[in-house]
Every structure is written in structure tokens, then in C-alpha cells.
Amino acid sequence: MSTDTRRAVERAARDSYGRLVTFLAARSRDIAAAEDALADAFRAALETWPRDGVPDRPEAWLLTAARRRLIDRARHFQVRAEAVPDLRLAAEEAQHLAEAGRFPDERLRLLFVCAHPAIDPAIHTPLMLQTVLGLDAARIASAFLVSPAAMGQRLSRAKVKIRDAGIGFELPEAKELPPRLDAVLQAVYAAYGSGWDDVAGADPRRKGLAMEAIDLGRMLRPMLPAEPEVEGLLALMLYCEARREARRGPAGDFIPLSEQDTARWSKPMIAEAERILSAAAQDRRMGRFQLEAAIQSVHTQRARNGQTDWEVIALLYEGLVRLAPTIGARVGQAAAVAEARDAATGWDLLQAIPAEAVASYQPYWALAAHLLRRLGQPAGMAYDRAIGLCEDPAMRAFLLRRAADG
């Protein structure tokens, strides 16, 4: 079986699992109990579906495989909740719908619960990855560089909070939607790993579960068709993903964006990102993710005409910094301005960022070294700082070579 087929089957299992967890949790208000009841069935699906094919009624298959556990779990948790329909009743309702082949997709509700303002923002993304996609805590912990035991505890604590605080599974009302949606989109983007292909060779992919984040983005799009930022985020992730192959040389060495062979960029993925970004633009409501996607779109033009229009990129960054003045955006702006105008102007922008905000921010030091070198100033200390803060061996080796070239 090809990797693509295996991935498609795995995605089908994760889709059905996420729908079921949402359905059961929305009714029993207990995410942990729903996950627990479905855990063995989900594991069995991941093992047998690649061999036997995805069943016609995947949710019904999972519910049947989970029947014993569902009854056990329902009994176990019954002591707690009198006012709430118990897990078994919810499972019976689910079984009817699943057998009729009309199982609802309510995962959007669960995504909003995971990114609820009452939940610590640091746990939004791990919660989504676990509850909606069924990833295990150990894998999430490695991606986010947290101890697996601590990650497990934080996830359970968040689920207890959702249950005990009675956080509702209703979709947010129109006036609440913008901030609530922003929290969901930020959490999805955090799963992708932010800005790992910056200009001037800064910021490698540090952490993140890129394909899973793209899956979440694809899932969100039809659920929120009127929200251009959903499309902006999906387009942004696809543009970055399109360059994955080109980021590494044959020996695994790091290749910065400006030196990448555009023949190795994925044309279908870029075309998809372009389509999605133009659809977003129809709405005429600009947002942070659309701007970031637009920046990547300009970079991809190089595949067509061999040029990078830094003036346009600098303007887009200016808009981005006004809208979302993150450190990453400000460093990106400084890099773009250095290319569009001159290194000194870029350097001034870089210097305007407060020192305490960038003490351990590696891309800042990588760009500082690059600009100092271009200005003919001593760059050794900045290179050392960028190298010392590196997490990615390929990026470290790249910067070590650059530092030695000086």
C-alpha cells in the first residue's frame, strides 16, 4: 500500500473518530469519557482499515467496536452527572444516525471548545490535535517540546475544566465570532509551526505537525465558508508546504528560500493556494493570515519569472505589522525592507524591536548577522548568538558555514 493510500485511510479513521468524540462529548459534556470509550475501537480501526479498507459506515463500525467500553464507561461516569444525558444514551443516538448513513459533522463545535477563552492558550493546539484528530499525547509532547507526562496532565486538566465549568458546545454567536475564530485559527497555525521559512535564511521548522495542521485547515474551510481568514490560513500553510522538498539539499543541508530551486516546489499545491487566496480576496476583508499568505504568494512568483518583488513584500509586511505586530512579523519586515531598499534601513527596523523581546529569538539574530555582514560590520557575535540558539542541526550547520565565510 502506498504512503498516500495509507494516509487517506488514516485520515478517514481520524475523521470518523473526531466526529464521534464531538457528538458524544457535546451531549455528555465529557470529552475524556468519550475519548476513553472510543480509544480501543480507534486503535483497531488504525490497524485493520488499511488492510480491509474503510467500512461503508465508518462511524457505525467504530461504535460497534466500542460497544463494551461505551457501556462500561457510561456506568463508570453515571455517578457524576444526573442532569446531563449519559454517554450510553448519546451512543445509542449516534448508532442510529451512523447506521442510517447520516452521521453529522459537528467537529467545529469541538474546535471552538478547545480554543475557548477559559482554556489556557498554550493548550489550545494540543487539545485540538488530541480530541479532534486523535493524536496521542506522547507525539504531541515531542512536537511541542514538553515532557510527555506534563503534556498528559495538562490535557486532562483542560478536559476536566471543560466538563466542570460547563463550557458549552454551542457555536459562538455572530458578535463573539471574530475573537473566538481567531483563537481557533491561531491554534491551527501553531500546529503548523510558525514562519519556518523566513527570508535571509531565518527560522527553520522548529516544531509542529504540518500535515495535521493542513488537515485541520481543510476541515475548517467548508465549515466556515464566509470567513476569508480561514482561507487565508489554509493558503498560507499550503504555500509553505509547497516548498518542503526544496528546503533541504541531497545531504539534508538547509537551503534558504532565496537559493531554493523553484523546480522542486510543488506546483499543484501552489496552484491550490492561489485559488484559495483569490477566493478569500473576493470578500474584501483583509486579515493577518491573508496578508501572510499574500507574502508567500509573491515569493512563489519567482518560479514564473525568476524575480522576487521585495518592494511588494515589504509593503505587505508593513500592513501585517500594523495588524498583528508580532516579533516574527517585525523581523520579517526588517528583512524585506533590507532587500527592497538597503541593509541600513532594514537594520534600523531591526534595532527598533525591544531587546528583551528578542534575547532568545533565533531568527532575529540570524537576520542581525546577515545584515551586519552586508553593512561591512563585525557580525561574529550575532552569528554566535544565532548558532547558539539554533534547534535545527541543518540550520546550525548552514549558519556555521556562513559565519566561517566572513
Partner 1 sequence: MQYALLFQQTPEEFADRRDPGKAAAFWAAFMPYMTALKQAGLVVAGAGLEPPATATSIRIGGNGRQVQDGPFADTKEQLAGFFIIEVPNLDTALEWASRYPGGVGGGVEVRPVAPPKPQQ
Binding site for partner 1 (CB under 8 A): 145-147, 150, 359-360, 383-391, 393, 396, 400, 403-404
In the bound state with partner 1, the residue whose beta carbon lies nearer, of 259 and 391, is 391
d(CA 90, CA 391): 46
| Least distance CB 204 / partner 1 (angstroms) | 12
Q: Which is nearer to partner 1, 220 or 369 (CB)?
A: 369
CB of 405 to partner 1, least distance (A): 13
In angstroms, give the least distance from the CB of 12 to partner 1.
34
Output the smallest distance, CB 71 to partner 1, in A.
39
Would you say 164 or 391 has its CB closer to partner 1?
A: 391
Q: Which is nearer to partner 1, 163 or 373 (CB)?
A: 373
Instruction: State in angstroms the smallest separation of the CB of 188 from partner 1.
Output: 21
Q: 45 or 146, CB closer to partner 1? A: 146
**Least distance (Å) from partner 1 to the CB of residue 398?**
12
Nearest approach, Cβ of residue 77 and partner 1 (Å)? 31
- Nearest residue (CB) to partner 1, 12 versus 403: 403
Three-class SS of residue 295?
A: helix
Please identify, using beta-carbon distances, which residue of 40 and 391 lies nearer to partner 1: 391
